[in-house]
Amino acid sequence: MSAIPSADFTNDPGRKSWVVTANRPDTDFPIQNLPFAVFKPQSSSAAYRGGVAIGDQIVDLGALAASGALRDNAAMAAQAGGRSTLDDLMALGPDCWSALRRELADALLEGSPLQSRLRSCLTPQSEVEYSLPATIGDYTDFYSSIHHATAVGRLFRPEQPLFPNYKWLPVGYHGRSSSIMISGGDVRRPQGQRAAGGTNAPTLGPTRRLDYEVELGVFIGTGNPLGSAIALDAAEAHIFGLCLLNDWSARDLQAWEYQPLGPFLAKSFATTISPWIVTLQALAPFRQAFVRDAADPPPLAYLDGDANRAAGALDIQLEAYIATAAMQSCGAPAQRLSSSSFRHAYWTIGQLVAHHTVNGCNLRAGDLLGTGTQSGPTPQEAGSLLELCAGGTRPIAVGTNEQRTFLEDGDLVSIRGWCERPGRARIGFGTASGRIIAA
């Protein structure tokens, strides 16, 4: 039986909420979404607690559990989700996640008899601050966009842009979980070894080629025992949900250090994620068939299956924006740098999980997987400055009189994501943003 969810009553576009801001056509958080985050009132000594977005409000899961409005698995899930991280909720598994979503979707529905009881559980999003949603014990970043891999490969290895293994397995590396931060934090320019072109004598100093990467993050819910594997058909039942992710990258450090063992200091200094985790059930209406070029080799059996081929891809729109220090000082709006879709990914989220565990590696609740930079087939769909600026050789115009090849101190980078199609409610991910500060 496939773990890929199909649309149900909670995805019905005709459903409206008594929280009126959830009914606006441009909201990220209609009643069909109901994503999770961890929050507390701004500048307070209160403990962080889990919540669910609805319009411009947050349902406090601890207060919801105490209200007695929910039953059985939904009540157990709300109680677990009301703690300082979502770890316990993630570990409960899909039956409890689904029960909470279904009962909350009905409780927030226009005309619900629980309206008066739930109103006291709401907190305005404008009055809160966010924390990391889970205790991220491990972080693995993949390389699932063939368009990004090919474009970057041409810059570093024009004679062989793709290594022979790329079309056979999801390439990845083990990242640094301790430097993952929530959206809105400052990103300090990292220092490290850099080697000028044509020399093998490096110098130590701040990166001169700081970049962003537009990615999605995949939060693991229930894990697997050490020595076991998660089959592709069961993989998505182990996924709690998706967020936005920016894997900040120092390209000059990366070019010097990445062979033979891959990224290290060029990546480990900062990774930014959005506060909100969108569930796979909320994304069910935006599934697409997973297709490959007919000339490419078919995946090995453990990475292939009828359900993955039929609905493994997700049409999630992804955009990157920049606001330089000068733009911010004069109140100019951020400028969009690129736009693409996760449907172009060469590997699905289910395949990432199946490959990660095929050797017996045990995933745990709260583990985070990055999809790798998501770029589309055209140059305008590139998910990094490295691609947009052709390795720094082709500056792009920013604002009224500035240019960029790589990021400068004071630049504010924001990643946005959403799903949209006729006849369906718009499902948003919020924003993952960070401002560059000096080394």
Just list the catalytic residues.
148
Instruction: Please state, in angstroms and rounded to a whole number, the distance separating the CA atoms of residues 168 and 19.
Output: 47
Instruction: Please state, in angstroms and rounded to a whole number, the distance separating the CA atoms of residues 91 and 78.
Output: 13
Kindly list the distances between the CA atom of residue 16 and the CA atoms of 23, 33, 111, 115, 318, in Å, as whole numbers in the listed order: 6, 12, 9, 13, 26
Instruction: Please state, in angstroms and rounded to a whole number, the distance separating the CA atoms of residues 345 and 145.
Output: 5
| Strand order across the 36-41 sheet | 122-124, 57-60, 49-54, 36-41, 128-131
Whether the CB-CB separation of 436 and 210 falls below 8 Å is answered with yes
CB atoms inside a 10 Å sphere around CB 203: 10
Whether the CB-CB separation of 271 and 180 falls below 8 Å is answered with yes
Whether the CB-CB separation of 371 and 348 falls below 8 Å is answered with no
DSSP per position, 204-247: EEE-S-EE--EEEEEEE-S---TT----HHHHGGGEEEEEEEE-
Cis peptide bond upstream of 263, omega within 30: no
